[in-house]
Structure 1
């Protein structure tokens, strides 16, 4: 088997399983672990997979640009949103991160909800302008044209002045070992501060993002209180998350 064919099989296997160990890939491809390690490095350097200790892990399958994501997995996001609104009560201060999943939560809130929303997301603001009893604090800063959010020092300073009861965190990737990660550095810094300044952090993640990883680390898994997903996680993985103190629904 030539290298190109081997790397194609390796990439497909990791995409299907989301992660794989060196020994597993060595047996699959009938080559040495050193050969697999070199293949993983080459593919990781190209940004196709992420090299990790002892193997490789898939990147998030979700497109980067907001416009490419807004019509994907709409039903799954609505399932997550219906779970999320159960955590929201009148009188709370709630952070809404950027992203299409957090937008789905905003759209699912009851119209007479009496909360204060803090967000750097233009789409979330557009939704909540029709909610008469929801106070909305829009955080300014530089415009991220791919995410339709604001970022920068002004945004971070504003987040740090508020201690929210809940934060809804849109997830790019989440993994037990590598935690919550994202492919954008500026987004990572915003998320870090949202996590640090909320009493309860609720991560919103479609099932296909679980077990994937990106370059920039937001936080470890145990910094999250709840993960809401559209489908059941396998029992073994769910138990490992629960050992970290994370409720999965």
Structure 2
């Protein structure tokens, strides 16, 4: 396959899948990962994608509107959310991060659950507004328009005062060596505050997010207790996370 053909295929995969992993492209195209990394670097420099550790995202991935993000892999998100929601227990203080998968978790919480929910996500709060057994607190701050979450010093300070039993954490990237990462420095501080006060941290990540890393590190993986991902992830891909002590749950 010629270089231009290979790079066209990479861009096609990116458009259809929302992200690409260097290891997967290397195996599919039967070329070295060094070759794929050069392709991704050159495509990034040409403004055609955004290179991240382990692969690439669309150039405008961080600016996609929330409604558009909800249309990506809805069945996978719903499956992960149902598995995650089953971990909630009566009497807990639960922090729910922003994101489209965490929104599905909110929708999946059983009507019989009696708990306190703290969230930085207005869509999550709205989804829980009619839940009969939950007391819902929305953390104030500056609203980021694309992900629809609150950030800033007020949000961080509020979360530092919460000693949560359980955190449902939305992640942009989850890498065995680099840890939990995100694409926005303000969100990084908010997510770190969530994790710092929690007894259990459930990272919700479909297979495409595993092995990738975004620019801003939220926390090392030793601060995460559970990884909840989809059933399509292979055991070899999960092994590094199990080795670090995470309890892995597949939906």
TM-score (norm 1): 0.82
SS of the equivalent of 1:165 reads: strand
Alignment of 1:161-240 (within 5 A): 161-240=161-240
Contact kept? 2:176, 2:221, Cα under 8 Å: yes
Tell me the C-alpha RMSD between the 2 structures. 3.2
The separation in 2 between residues aligned to 1:65 and 1:185, in whole angstroms, is 18
The separation in 1 between residues aligned to 2:197 and 2:48, in whole angstroms, is 32
Relative to 1, partners in 2 of residues 1:140 and 1:13: Cα closer, same or farther, differing over 3 Å?
Answer: closer
Superposition deviation, residue 85 in structure 1: 1.7
* Deviating more after overlay: 132-141 vs 9-18: 9-18
Contact kept? 1:60, 1:209, Cα under 8 Å: no
The separation in 1 between residues aligned to 2:139 and 2:10, in whole angstroms, is 43
Superposition deviation, residue 44 in structure 1: 4.2
Q: Which residue of 1 aligns with 2:115?
A: 115
Superposition deviation, residue 74 in structure 1: 1.8
Relative to 1, partners in 2 of residues 1:237 and 1:133: Cα closer, same or farther, differing over 3 Å?
Answer: same
Alignment of 1:56-71 (within 5 A): 57-59=55-57, 64-71=64-71
Structure 2 unaligned spans of 5+: none
TM-score (norm 2): 0.82
Contact kept? 1:41, 1:51, Cα under 8 Å: no
- The alignment covers a number of residue pairs equal to 241
Structure 1 unaligned spans of 5+: none
Superposition deviation, residue 5 in structure 1: 5.5
List per-residue Cα deviations over 1:12-31 (Å, max 9, x = no partner).
7998861249x99xx838xx
Superposition deviation, residue 72 in structure 1: 2.4
Alignment of 1:102-181 (within 5 A): 102-181=102-181
